Structure 1
Amino acid sequence: MKRICLVAVAAVLVAAGNAAAVTINVDFAPDINDPAATTNIYTVDYVGTAAAPDLGTVWNHIDTNNGSPAGFIGSPGYYDGMDGPATASSIVDSFGNSLPGVSVAINGGLGAFGSGDDSPTDGDTGAGLNYVSVEAQGLMRDYLIANGGNPGSVTISGLTPGTLFNLYAYGEGDNGGNERQTKFTANGVVGSTAGFAGLPHDTLVEGADYVILPGVIVDGSGNIEIAFELNGGGEAPFNGFQLTTVPEPVSLALAALAGLGLIAVRRKV
């Protein structure tokens, strides 16, 4: 009887510790609307995991707002500017559960870029899919762009004020050199990507492909504002982000108690 009770208590405590864990995945892309772009693929809706410790594979795919012809179509990809802010309001978590009231808005920046499937992979132009991480390629092949005259920002709204999040910000382009690096600032927390110096790579690299901004606190209006700007290169890419809740101390304590309960059961058996 004692064994059954301990197992039940442990299960309840583990559930309580994990109940509040939520991750929001967002993948940015250019608004592919130019008829001339129909002969190639420049962006895909990414499905899968990335750097955050979360098993969910569902992403919110948000395109820039642009109704005019593309600024550039060819090798190595598709570039277009922005006609104005773009907002997505039907946001879901990483398992596809609806998050009522949560929205994500692209407020500014130079535009967005997507690497084409026929992008050079031999380094001739110093750009292309060859320089994008094979892991999460669908996430990393396209991105928002900021530069010196066009800093960018993204706002996540509808969150609970005071909630603590860890932000995984992805900021790497189709680097042939090391000219694409990004500085991120999220409600006062700062982090930067340093680029990958043009080397093909198989896995996402912290500090090069992405940076973790720990302990970002939702402001009193329920918002997280993510500014992105140059970090020494000519362009500042923003591929997307993962926003994951930080476990509260009580949840960690409950999880620890659950572990002790399971140990006690093991010793009794």
Structure 2
Amino acid sequence: MSIYSIYATKRSGHHAFIEWLCSGLSGNWVYFNNCKIYDGEIRYAVIESDFNLPGLEKNKPGLLSEALHTIGPDVEHLILSYENVDYENCCRCFFQEKQFRKHFGDQFRIVFLRDFFNSYASLFSWFERYKKEEAPVKALDEFKKCWGGLVSLYLKSGDDGFNSDGAKLVLPSFNEFSFEDNYRAGLAKKLNILNSDVNKELSLFGGGGNTFFDDKKNYTPSQEKLESRWKLVLDKEKFFDSIDEATLFNARSFAYFLNRPELFDIPERELSKKSGVDSESST
């Protein structure tokens, strides 16, 4: 049984990655979406799989440990995704499933991150579009905390590697994965999967992905659009006011780590202009 654990923030595009991952697996798989830690146990929101799961309701939340007992050890690939959660805490909780450890084969911890300004703007816009309200401070703070924690893994590791328990740490980014064929080919090799195409039509499953899980959206977003989400919130004072210096430092470090300085420099320049205008108007 190979294990793929994906750690991301909301609005990172990681569901597109997960659908690509599933489409490249050989053998049956089960995917637990949006896992969270409650009272030291992992709970999931919904399940997807490429085979029938007697005794489990796919759209009903549940305990991971109970679902694993129902499924049994014969499934070939297990995929779990976590959004806006503490990375270390999730690692500790999952590997307490001792009764299944003897069945574990390759173990991958995949930290999937999107550049800060565009993922943060996407979250901000999502609340306005679907909730008809401004993004609450709690949601913004939760996002920044998780993004900062995950980006530290990139900056600390510098590259893929191995955790102390033998799990392989893989560090893809949305900005490279979505638009670079050669990058996906190399990533597929690291993950021991086939490199299937990324369908340009996005589904609504989990907020993103291709048509693998049906219910597709009716547009094809370009790289320019996906990397210009920050422009949609230029007039939102709360968006800029909520970005602190530590987050700016991490956002810059990540963009430069990707060799894509424009992902930080251009929106930060606009942020500086706006801050200057606000400062002048208040004097």
Q: Same fold (TM over 0.5)?
A: no
Structure with the bigger percentage of strand: 1
Normalising by structure 1, we get a TM-score of 0.27
Whichever of the two has the greater Rg, that structure is 1
Structure with the bigger percentage of helix: 2
